[in-house]
Structure 1
Amino acid sequence: MASRPYTSKPATDIFTPHDTDINRRECRRLVPMKVLALGLGRTGTASLRSALHTLGFNCYHMMSASVENPPDCLMWSDALAAKYDGVGTFGPEQWDQLLGHCQAVCDWPSLAFAKDLVEAYPEAKVVLTFRNVDSWYASTMETVHWRAMEPGLQLAAKVDWAASMYQPMLSKFWTCFWEGDFEKNGKRRFDEYYAEVRQLVPKHSLLEYNISEGWQPLCDFLDAPIPEGQSSPRTNSLDDFVERCRRMNRMQLLNAAFRCVVFSCTLGAIAASLLSSTSTNRRIALLGRASSAFRGGF
């Protein structure tokens, strides 16, 4: 599949004002990549992102693409096409374009590229968040798996600028990473993935980390001071995830509805102008004929 071109955010997208529209294909690395957080999503990755931000590491997360800068999904789609379909190439230059503004990266879909990222950023330390596989599976079923299959997102993707980039990328990732069936393969792939990362990363560069352990092991590993008077973040609960997604669907559908209203009003104004112009021309023609007839009478 051909790489999809970047298009700017429509002016009518007034219900998602915080979405940016940066074309990452024109970007480059601005800061060094220092942390690769390669734990699967729903293992505390959103909480880890908040913790890393507190420690001074700007961290990329799935929400960076889904609700912050949707055009990022175009480059993620390029990366997925290169990995799973053999279409195009996606190497260090492209990773720097996509992630060059960040010092850390976590969550889906980056974890599909664990080996690529470790090779692209060999100096980066690796944090591997984890949790019990059964509780992880149950949480993922009700959040990301639900989101990947959700009719509301599929509908928004047909009419909204941001959703039209996000939904195909999410669907491609979710299908390929879980070998076509998350419900059947999720727990097996969980075990396989963690074994792969442990083999890939030298032990001195790897921290296996449960978010419930708090600041100490994370700060020790990253040589960062423990934030005074701050408890370690706990964010993105199941309820928060679902409500955020449903709210985003509503806002994106409102964008589409508003665009239709603007389009209809514009067409109406054009039609009225044309009718008015036609009517004026007719009146001028009639006056012209009447004037000619009047002059001819003398």
Structure 2
Amino acid sequence: MATRTRTMPVQQKKGKGVKIIVAGLPRTSTTSLKKGLEILGIGPCFHLGDPPAPIKRVKESARVLAMQDRHERLKGLRALYDDFEAVFEPPASTLVDDMLAIYPDAKVILSVRKDPSVWLASFDGLGMDLTSPIYRVLGYWIPGVIHSSDLMTAWGAFYKRKFGLGDAPSAELYLKHNEWVKDIVPKDQLLEYQPSMGWEPLCEFLGREVPGNKQPFPWVNEASFLRRVIRTAMVLGSIVWLFIFGAVWLGALRAKELISVSWESY
């Protein structure tokens, strides 16, 4: 295991900045955790999946995650996150070391699933590889499709470089990412958590009171919503392409007719 090191913090604007970094991979109950933090009065929260984030945020997230120059990447992360108290999903959950360089006092919550196979099944349950040419081509004209594809492409490329893994998400990726997070985050700033653990460990870690009236921890599964969004984008994209091809075909027929008339007149 690598030696734990701390990067010199980047100067931060007073009164602004991230207090909580959720470092778990996508599909580790991050939407439920976001709802839980909001019940505790923590916010605003930056989460790309709930509700659907402005397209410009998805675009900027993809751009920052793909940056190779670390100085520029740190600037991009700070511009993206400075106005939020808690942040979820890539690029924050992917660039945890960079995030701690900017927000050295932030608490880190490593959201986890029961085991790697459960996480992988949840990830694959979206029903479509967002980096696939089919998704990109069919959804090309639909706002946000290319940017979401760019984000997942940059996400996969990052782990391929970092851990030498294949292109597809795997159980090995889940294990390596979690071990890396636990290795680089000081123990007193880290909580490994899943919603089934309830309010107590989360509230103790964050120094918050447990909600009264025996309020259960929220459970939100956005998988069905995301699948609907993806299917809708594919259907609408197909309709747009059919319209374009139809218009081109009709245009070609019209041009052929005009050429024919011109030759007959000649």
TM-score by length of 2: 0.73
Write the deviation string for residues 60-111 of structure 1: whole angstroms up to 9, x where unpaired: 12326x922111233223322323xx498211x3222111221011123322
Q: CA RMSD in A?
A: 3.1
SS at match of 1:71: helix
Provide closer, same or farther for how the CA distance between residues 160 and 248 of structure 1 changes in structure 2, counting only shifts above 3 A: closer
Q: Return the match for 2:45 from 41, 44, 59.
A: 59
Match in the other structure for 2:263: none
Query: Unpaired segments of 5 or more residues in structure 1?
Result: 1-27, 265-298
Supply the AA of the counterpart residue of 2:145: A
Q: How far off is 1:138 after superposition? A: 1.4
Match in the other structure for 2:207: 223
Q: Distance in 2 between matches of 1:214 and 1:187?
A: 25
Query: Does residue 47 of structure 1 match 2:32?
Result: yes
Q: Distance in 1 between matches of 2:59 and 2:18?
A: 21
SS at match of 2:170: helix
Return the structure number with greater helix share.
1
Q: Distance in 2 between matches of 1:109 and 1:252?
A: 27
TM-score by length of 1: 0.66
Question: What is the aligned length?
Answer: 226
Is the contact made by 1:145 and 1:182 (CA closer than 8 Å) also made in structure 2?
no
Write the deviation string for residues 162-206 of structure 1: whole angstroms up to 9, x where unpaired: 3233322222323432457344x6221221111111111111111
Provide closer, same or farther for how the CA distance between residues 169 and 43 of structure 1 changes in structure 2, counting only shifts above 3 A: closer
Match in the other structure for 2:87: 105
Provide closer, same or farther for how the CA distance between residues 198 and 34 of structure 1 changes in structure 2, counting only shifts above 3 A: same
Provide closer, same or farther for how the CA distance between residues 200 and 144 of structure 1 changes in structure 2, counting only shifts above 3 A: farther
Match in the other structure for 1:208: 192
Q: How far off is 1:238 after superposition? A: 3.5
Is the contact made by 2:128 and 2:135 (CA closer than 8 Å) also made in structure 1?
no
Q: Return the match for 2:18 from 33, 42, 63.
A: 33
Write the deviation string for residues 254-288 of structure 1: whole angstroms up to 9, x where unpaired: 8x69x98xxx9xxxxxxxxxxxxxxxxxxxxxxxx
Q: Distance in 1 between matches of 2:132 and 2:89?
A: 19
Query: Does residue 76 of structure 1 match 2:61?
Result: yes
After the TM superposition, which residues 1-298 of structure 1 pair with which residues of structure 2 at under 5 Å, given as runs? 31-57=16-42, 58-63=44-49, 67-83=52-68, 86=69, 89-91=72-74, 93-131=75-113, 132-143=115-126, 146-149=129-132, 151-152=134-135, 154-156=137-139, 158-178=140-160, 181-183=166-168, 186-229=170-213, 230-250=215-235
Is the contact made by 2:138 and 2:237 (CA closer than 8 Å) also made in structure 1?
no
**Bigger CA drift: 158-167 or 120-129?**
158-167
SS at match of 1:166: helix
SS at match of 1:53: helix
Supply the AA of the counterpart residue of 2:53: E
SS at match of 1:137: helix
